[in-house]
Structures are given as structure tokens and as C-alpha cells.
Amino acid sequence: MFFIILILNFNCIPSANNEVPENLIDREKMVNVLKDVYLAEESVATFLPDKRDSMAYLLYNHVFRIHQIEEQQFYESLNYYNTHPEVIKEIHDNISDSLELELKNLTRGRSIDD
């Protein structure tokens, strides 16, 4: 699972099978899911190396439960979006904007929900 960032940063090459997955996660939800996955990855990086895999598994499954998605659904959606560079760029831009807003709110002493 540590390869998610590598997958996302890999050059997006359209595949021969460009069909929309039956259970595709919509763009807006994918922004939120990926943001939480990235935050989980950052958290995992703070653990001792021998604990990282087990913690990654737990945290990723927690993210999937929060967003009420299955692991396979996430990876199928991620693979689909990775074959559409303009869409995955938009998703990443939205994640970046969301994290910047959260950081501004935190540095102002406000909660994220304000």
C-alpha cells in the first residue's frame, strides 16, 4: 500500500481498457478519500519501520470505512483516474486547495469546521 504515491506520481498513460468502473468513486468523494489516504501515509511515516506495514493497513482500512468504500473500489477508481491526466490533476489540485484552507484555519486558531 505504500506504493499509492508512486502510482499517483507515475506518468499517466491511458490504458487500452478505458472503461468506467461500475463502482467508480465520484470526483468530489475521491478528493476526500485521497486526502485522507495521503494524511494516513504521512502518519505511517512516523512509525518505526517494522510497524509501518501493519499501521498502513489499519489506517487505510479506517479511511475506507470512514468513506464507506471498499479497497477494491478505491484501487479501481484510482487506476481509472490515473488514465485521465486532466482529471487526476484536478483532483490533486482540489486536495491541495483543501489542505491549504485547513492549514490557514489552523494557523488562525480556528477549527476546520468553522
| Domain locations in the chain as residue ranges | 24-107
| 3 has pLDDT over 70 | no
Buried b (16+ CB within 10 A) or exposed e, 33-63: bbbbbbebbeebeeeeeeebeebbeebbeeb
Q: What are the pLDDT digits (tens) for 4-16?
A: 544 444 444 444 4
| 110 has pLDDT over 90 | no
Q: Measuring CA to CA, which residue among 76, 78, 72 is closest to residue 38?
A: 78
Band of pLDDT at residue 114, cut at 50, 70 and 90: low
Q: Provide the pLDDT for residue 108.
A: 85
DSSP letter at 2 equals T
Contact 111, 105 (CB under 8 A): yes
Rounded to two decimals, what is the model's pTM?
A: 0.77
Mean residue pLDDT across the chain: 86
